[in-house]
Amino acid sequence: MTHRAMVVRVALVAVVLIAILLDIFGGTRWYSVSDLWRPSTKLVGEVIWKIRVPRALAAAMTGMLLALAGLLLQTVSHNPLADPSIIGVNAGANLAMIVGELLGISLTILNAFWLSLVGALLAFVVVIGLSMSGHGFNPLRLLLGGTIFSGFISSISYAVSFITNMTQQFRVLLVGGFSGANYQQVLLLGIVVIIVLGGAVMFQTELTLLGLDSKTSVGLGVSFKRLMIVAVVLWC
């Protein structure tokens, strides 16, 4: 690692830490660092520890997961502009939650997690199928097929939400937010971060080789199908 790369990484980590601190202590009312350990009033302590801290941690870990998913996708697709939203993952997760709510499934944190995961996996399996050709995996077809399929799934989601008068609920699911974040959600996100980062580190060499075309990867001894399964799970 070069000196410049090290400086950039340290600076980025510092920016993230500053953003987390600003999220905790800043807002409509600013608090001091001492309020974190010895809050001046009980209300101040509840605002910091029950609202701002879990919100900041949830936002930071969600951003970390999205960044990692984007990095994996950009590596495989050979496109620095690729992100999970253009390959149907987000659209599939949203549609799964809408269908779940229509079926009467309570969208608790765990139910929403599993519905989103199943919807994202199913959508991505379809996109992967569209991206395969007679010559193996085609990154360009992945992006084009994913963009088309994502738009198709999003159209279905909008249509279903409009017909069933769920437009407001769908807007909340689509946009998202961290205003209601709690420690249960933070714990779940922490588990996902550990699993995803562990998988990425464990297969970092193979995933780097996956950035090459499928034939070259196989020629270097990489199990293309196994790594694609790993990449799909990490993306979703």
pLDDT band at 15, cuts 50/70/90?
very high
Rounded average pLDDT over 157-183: 75
- Is the distance from CB of 131 to CB of 137 less than 8 angstroms? yes
Is domain 56-235 in CATH 1.10.3470.10, yes or no? yes
CA distance 197 to 201: 6
Crossing angle between the packed helical segments 109-131 and 89-102, to the nearest 10 degrees: 130
pTM of the model: 0.76
Segment 117-124 shows an average pLDDT of 86
Q: Say if residue 70's pLDDT is above 90.
A: no
Query: For the chain, how far is it from start to end, CA to CA, in angstroms?
Result: 30
Q: Judging by DSSP bridges, how do beta strands 136-137 and 132-133 pair with one another?
A: antiparallel
Domain boundary assignment for the chain: 56-235
What pLDDT score does 54 carry?
Answer: 92
* Cβ proximity of 102 and 164 under 8 Å: yes
SS3 (DSSP) at 151: helix
Rounded to whole angstroms, the Cα distance separating 191 from 149 reads 30
d(CA 100, CA 37): 41
Q: What is the pLDDT of residue 235?
A: 60
Structure tokens at 92: 């599939």
Q: Is the per-residue pLDDT at 57 higher than 90?
A: yes
| Lowest-confidence pick of 24-28, 166-170, 191-195 | 166-170
Supply the pLDDT for residue 60: 92
